[in-house]
Structure 1
Amino acid sequence: MSNGMAAHLLPIIRKEFIHIIRDPRTLAVMFVMPLLQLILLGYAATSDVRNVPLAVYDQSRTPQSRRLVEAFVASGQFAVTQVATSEQDLARLVDSGRAQAGLIIPPSYATDLLGGRTAQAAFVLDGSDPSVASTSLSAARLIGQVEATTIQQQNLARRAGGVALATPIEVRTRVWYNPDMASAYFMVPALIGMILQIQATLLTASAIVRERERGTIEQLIVTPIRPWELIVGKILPFALVALLITVEVLVIGTFWFKVPIRGSLPLLLGISCLFLLSSLGIGLLISTVAQTQQEAFLLTFLTLLPSVFLSGFIYPIAAMPLALQFVSGFIPLTYFLVVVRGIVLKGIGIPDLGNQIVALTIFGIVLIILASARFRKRLD
C-alpha cells in the first residue's frame, strides 16, 4: 500500500471506528447477537424428540396391558403424562395439546394374548407437527414389533420348540389432523404468528424512531394530544395492517397450499388481537431504547431470535433442554402457535385454549403498560 493510499484510508477507518465506539448499544447488540444465535442453534436446533407426552386409556388393566405401557415408557420416546377415562377424554387431551399421542388398550387385550390370538392396541398421534409425528410413529411401530417378538419368543420357550400360530401383538397406528404429515400444514399456520410479530414489532418501533430522527415527534408533543392518544394513534394503524396480513396469509395458505381451516376464523382473529398487544408492546419498548432506525431493526431482530427457535415455530419444544423449555414459557409466540395450529388444524375452541388465552392476555397487558409508561416518560 502506497503512502498516499494509506493517508487517504486511515482517516476514514479511524472515523468509522469512532462512530462505532460512540454507539455502544448498537455495538453491544452486534456482539450479543452471534452469541445468542450460537446458543439457540446449538441447543434448540434439534429434532431428536424424547419424552413425547402420552395419554393412556387402558381398558384391560392387567399385567399384560401394563407391560405394553411400560414398553412405551422404557423406550425413552414417550412419557405417560395423562390417564384417560374414555376415548372421548383421550381425544380432548390430544386436541388441547396436553398429550401429543394416545395409547388405547381394549378390554380383551389380555384375554386375546393368553388365548393365543392377536391382541390389538390402537396408537393415535397428533400429526400437526410432522417432525414429532414421524419420529413418534416410527417409534410406536418399532415398540409394538419388539414387544410382539419378545412375547413370541417366550411362548416358543414355554412350548419347548413349538410353533407360534399368530403374531401376539398388533399396534395399529393412526395420525390425526395431518394424516400425510405435510410440512405445509405445520408451517403455514405458524407463519401467521411470525409475520404478525415481525410486522407489528418492526413497524411500530421503526415508525416512532423515524419520527424522533426527523424531529416531528416533538411537534406532536406540543399539540393538545395527550400521551395515550399519541400512543394509540401510532400503533393502531399497524395493528390493522397486521390483521389484514393475517387474513392474506390464511387465504393464500388455504387456496395455494391447501391447508384447511377447521376451526372458527372469528375466534382466530380475536385471539390474534391479543397476541398483537404483546408484539406492539415490544415494538414500543424498542422505540424507547433505540435512537436510530438501524438500531431499532437490530433490536427487533434480537427479540425475534428466541421466538423463532424457542417457540416451537421450527423445532419442537419437547426436544429442547429443560432450561430452554422454561424460557419458552416467557415467549408470547409459544402460546399463539398452539392457538393458531389448534384452530386451523384441529378445529378446537375456547375450552381447549383457555390457558393460552389467559397467558396472551397477561403478556399483552403487562407489555403494553410497561411500554406506554416508558414511552410517556420519554415524551415528558
Structure 2
Amino acid sequence: MNLRRLLAVMQKEVRQMRRDRITLAMIVAIPVAQLLLFGYAINTNLRDLKAGVADQSNTAASRAMVMDVVATTVIRPSLVAQTPQELMEAIRRGQISLGIVVPPDFERRRAEGREQMQVLVDGSDNAVQAAAAQIAQMPLDGSSGVGARVERPISVVSFYNPERRSAVNIVPGLIGVILTMTMVLFTGVAIVRERERGNMELLIATPVSSAELMIGKVLPYIAIGLVQTTVVLALGTWLFEVPLNGSLWEVYLAAILLIAANLTLGLLISTAAKSQFQAMQMTFFVFLPSILLSGFMFPFSGMPQLVQWLAEVLPLTHFLRLIRGIMLRGAGIEELWPDVLAMLAFTTVMMSAAILRFRKRLD
C-alpha cells in the first residue's frame, strides 16, 4: 500500500465530485429534504377534514352537539345538506371525506340515552376512518348544552371499505407509486443514454426535430406503463380482493394521465442531467416527496397548508384521488375533473419545458 498513490486517488475523486455540481448538491439536499419532510410536513394527526352536515333536527341541542365535533378541529364543515343521501353522494364524488347526520328525533334519542349522531365515512381512505373513530370516542358531558353523557352517542358508518382492510386502500395507490418510480426513471436516462452511447451524433445528422424526438421517446413507455397497471390490477383483485366499483376503461384512462405526466417529467430530468447516475439521483429526489406528500403513506389532511399546496403540484397526489374515486367509490372520471385538468396541465408544462431545453448538440 503506497500512501502517496492512495492520496492521489482520493484527491482525484474529490476534484471529480467538486466538478459534479448535481451530485454535490444532492449530498446536502437529500438529507435536508428528508429532515423537513419527516419532521415538519408529515403529521399523522388529521385536521380540517372536509365534512358535510345534515342536521335534520335543527334544535339548539343538536347544533351544540355539531359544534362539539367541529371544536375538535378534526373536521371542517364545507357542505350543508338536507338528507344523508346528499352527503353520501358528496362522499362518492370526493367533495367531502365525512358526513355528520343528526336524525329528526334527536331530542327523543337524547332523552332515552341512545345514539344521537351518525358519522358517514369515506372508507377508501384508512386515515379518514381513523379520524372517524376518534370522533366516535368523543365524550359528551353536557358542557355545551347537549345533555346527559351517553357512553356511545355517535355511531360510525363506513362506506366502500366497511371491513377496514388496508389492502383496499393500498393496492390502488400502489399503481401510482410503481408508475411514478418506473416511468420517471425510464425516461430520466433516455437523453443521457443517447449521449453516453454515442447515438447523439446520429440524431444530430437526422431531420428529426426536438419535439418529434421527445414525443417519440415517450410513446413506447405508455404501453409498458399500461402493462404494469394491468399486472397490479390483476394481482390486487385476485390476491387481495380489491373491488373495482367503477369503470375499467376509466381506470386505464387515469393511469394514462399519470404515465404521461411522469414520462414528461423524466424527459425534463434527462435534459438537465449530464450522466445516467445524475438522472437516477434526480429521479430519487422527485420520487421521495411524491410518495411522502401525495397521501399514499401519510394523511394528506395532516400536513401544513403550505406543504399541501406543494403536494398539489405532484401528479401522484391527483392520481390517488382519481384511482380511489373510480375503483373504490365508483365515481366517474368526469366527476373528478379538477384532478384530470391538473394532470393535463402538468404534462403540458413538463413536455414544453423538455422540448425547449433539449438541443441536438453534443455539448
Return the TM-score normalized by structure 1.
Answer: 0.89
2:187 maps to a residue whose letter is T
Q: Which residue is 1:315 aligned to? A: 298
Q: Which residue is 2:268 aligned to? A: 285
Q: Which residue is 1:347 aligned to? A: 330
Q: Which residue is 2:83 aligned to? A: 86
Matches within 5 A, 1:62-101: 62-101=59-98
Deviation at 1:252, TM superposition (A): 1.0
**Residues 314/169 of structure 1: CA separation in 2 closer, same or farther (3 Å cut):** closer
For each residue in 1:242-270, what CA deviation from the matched residue of structure 2 results, as whole angstroms up to 9, or x when unmatched?
11111111111111122111111101111
Structure 2: gaps of 5 or more residues = none
Matches within 5 A, 1:244-255: 244-255=227-238
Contact 1:44 1:315 in 2 (8 A): no
Contact 1:53 1:79 in 2 (8 A): yes
**Residues 154/125 of structure 1: CA separation in 2 closer, same or farther (3 Å cut):** closer
Contact 2:172 2:323 in 1 (8 A): yes
Deviation at 1:209, TM superposition (A): 1.0
Residues 1:187 and 2:189 aligned together: no
Q: Which residue is 2:11 aligned to? A: 14
> For 1:52, which of 26, 49, 52 is the aligned residue?
49
Contact 1:123 1:174 in 2 (8 A): yes
**Residues 175/21 of structure 1: CA separation in 2 closer, same or farther (3 Å cut):** same
Alignment coverage as a number of residue pairs? 363
Q: Which residue is 1:161 aligned to? A: none
In structure 1, C-alpha distance between the alignment counterparts of 2:251 and 2:270, rounded to whole Å: 28
Matches within 5 A, 1:1-380: 5-113=2-110, 116=112, 118=114, 120-134=116-130, 136-143=131-138, 146-147=139-140, 149-150=141-142, 170-376=153-359
Contact 2:61 2:146 in 1 (8 A): no
The 10-residue stretch of structure 1 (29-38 or 287-296) with the greater mean CA deviation from structure 2: 29-38
Deviation at 1:37, TM superposition (A): 1.0
In structure 2, C-alpha distance between the alignment counterparts of 1:248 and 1:306, rounded to whole Å: 25
The 10-residue stretch of structure 1 (78-87 or 355-364) with the greater mean CA deviation from structure 2: 78-87
For each residue in 1:262-312, what CA deviation from the matched residue of structure 2 results, as whole angstroms up to 9, or x when unmatched?
111101111222222211111111111101100000001111121111111
Identity of matched residues, %: 37
For each residue in 1:66-91, what CA deviation from the matched residue of structure 2 results, as whole angstroms up to 9, or x when unmatched?
01101101122222122123222211
SS at match of 2:28: helix
2:133 maps to a residue whose letter is S
Compare CA radii of gyration and give the structure with the larger one: 1
**Residues 378/47 of structure 1: CA separation in 2 closer, same or farther (3 Å cut):** farther
Deviation at 1:225, TM superposition (A): 2.7
In structure 1, C-alpha distance between the alignment counterparts of 2:47 and 2:107, rounded to whole Å: 28
Contact 1:110 1:119 in 2 (8 A): no
For each residue in 1:92-147, what CA deviation from the matched residue of structure 2 results, as whole angstroms up to 9, or x when unmatched?
2212222111111112213543x55636322111122213312x23222222xx22
Return the TM-score normalized by structure 2.
Answer: 0.93
Contact 2:64 2:146 in 1 (8 A): no
In structure 2, C-alpha distance between the alignment counterparts of 1:358 and 1:342, rounded to whole Å: 16
SS at match of 1:94: helix
Contact 1:50 1:77 in 2 (8 A): yes
**Residues 238/366 of structure 1: CA separation in 2 closer, same or farther (3 Å cut):** same
For each residue in 1:39-74, what CA deviation from the matched residue of structure 2 results, as whole angstroms up to 9, or x when unmatched?
111123331112222211111111111011011011
SS at match of 2:2: helix
1:231 maps to a residue whose letter is M
* Cα RMSD, aligned residues only: 2.3
Deviation at 1:208, TM superposition (A): 2.1
For each residue in 1:306-346, what CA deviation from the matched residue of structure 2 results, as whole angstroms up to 9, or x when unmatched?
11111111111111112111211111111111001111111
In structure 1, C-alpha distance between the alignment counterparts of 2:33 and 2:288, rounded to whole Å: 8
**Residues 195/154 of structure 1: CA separation in 2 closer, same or farther (3 Å cut):** closer
In structure 1, C-alpha distance between the alignment counterparts of 2:336 and 2:361, rounded to whole Å: 37
